[in-house]
Chain A
Amino acid sequence: MQTNVLAAGGGWWKYAAPNLFYPLAGKMIPWFAAAATALCALGLYIGFFVAPTDATQGESYRIIFIHVPSAWMSMFLYVVMAFWAAVGLALNTRLSSMMATAIAPTGAIMTFIALWSGALWGRPTWGTYWVWDARLTSELILLFLYLGFMALQAAIDDPRRADKAGAVLAIVGVVNVPIIYFSVKWWNTLHQGASVSLSKAPTMAATMLTGMLVMALGFWMYSIAISLARVRAIILERERRSDWIKELAGNA
């Protein structure tokens, strides 16, 4: 079996085997969960008690501390999901495909939060909850890509066939991510351009930026923790007839 070949090589590759990855992920989850809790607590403290009122938007701008982190995670998780799906497709590693399957629901939730918080931010600042501009529309398409990936996999009984079909959809859908990111440059959108970029200084107060970045880190750690927890459940579901799982259950 493919995973055994990888495991024989030693090193970190051996964790491509579900039976070795399962306990490792179990040990990592509490650390990522603790980091997520601490970072979000700190980020919310900075966001609500340190960062000043915005000169033009008043207090409504404080939605930024969940809007931007969730929007970033929605795009980042999609790329990570497509990466693992592609690895699973190319190398036929079961765990990679399971990782992709585990990330999809979290990506969908992050996309939903970005759209929801964006709507509630749009109303006081633009006067509308929704507008069909390029940024908002492409983010909505991202939500449909996540949901389509999940629905497609759920519709196919054989897990390995579901992995492959999902992988194709995930890989094709990657084109949407740069479209979301650059939409505010390529088209004339109601949505503002990036406040943070690598090429120029951020166009916001330092404490606002700090709060936003800390929250983004917190969302990142949360996403890792919950995806690892979900992939463990998926491993249990798929490998339940293997001996190591039965041993694990027998010992518990």
Chain B
Amino acid sequence: MVWGGWDNFWAMGGYGSFVWGSYGVTVVALAIEVWLVSMRRRRALAEVERNRRHGGEGR
């Protein structure tokens, strides 16, 4: 470990809030994007299924 312990790693030489604030928001943003796309797919598939069952009314 080049950091000499996890405490030093999380501290980031005093810039911890800036570094982890950047990485944290990035991870959350990408996780939300993946979740939204999977929800969109699920909704679309449900709509297709409804269309198929009820003779293709739909919008």
Chain B interface residues toward A at CB < 8 A: 1-2, 9, 12-15, 18-19, 21-23, 25-26, 29-30, 33-34, 36-38, 40-41, 44-45, 47-49, 51-52, 56, 58
24 inter-chain pairs at a CB distance below 8 angstroms, sorted by A residue, are: A48-B9, A53-B13, A59-B19, A60-B18, A60-B19, A62-B12, A63-B18, A67-B22, A113-B26, A113-B29, A116-B25, A117-B25, A226-B34, A226-B37, A229-B37, A229-B41, A230-B37, A237-B44, A237-B47, A240-B48, A246-B51, A248-B48, A249-B48, A249-B49
Could you tell me the distance in whole angstroms from the C-beta of A116 to the nearest C-beta in chain B? Answer: 5
Chain A interface residues toward B at CB < 8 A: 48-49, 53, 58-60, 62-63, 66-67, 70, 105-106, 109, 112-113, 116-117, 120-121, 123-124, 222, 226, 229-230, 232-233, 236-237, 240-241, 245-246, 248-250
Known: A112-B29, A240-B58. A117 touches B22 (CB 8 A): yes
Could you tell me the distance in whole angstroms from the C-beta of B10 to the nearest C-beta in chain A? Answer: 11
CA of A67 to CA of B19, assembled, Å: 11
Could you tell me the distance in whole angstroms from the C-beta of B44 to the nearest C-beta in chain A? Answer: 4
Given contacts A59-B13, A60-B12, A236-B47, list 19 more A-B pairs with CB under 8 A: A53-B13, A59-B19, A60-B19, A62-B12, A66-B26, A105-B33, A109-B33, A117-B26, A120-B18, A124-B15, A233-B37, A236-B48, A240-B47, A240-B48, A240-B51, A240-B58, A241-B51, A246-B48, A246-B51
CA of A125 to CA of B9, assembled, Å: 20
Residue picked from A58, A60, A124, A222, most chain B C-beta under 10 Å: A60
- The chain B residue sitting closest to A225, CB to CB, is B34
A116: contacting residue among B14, B22, B38, B47, CB under 8 A:
B22
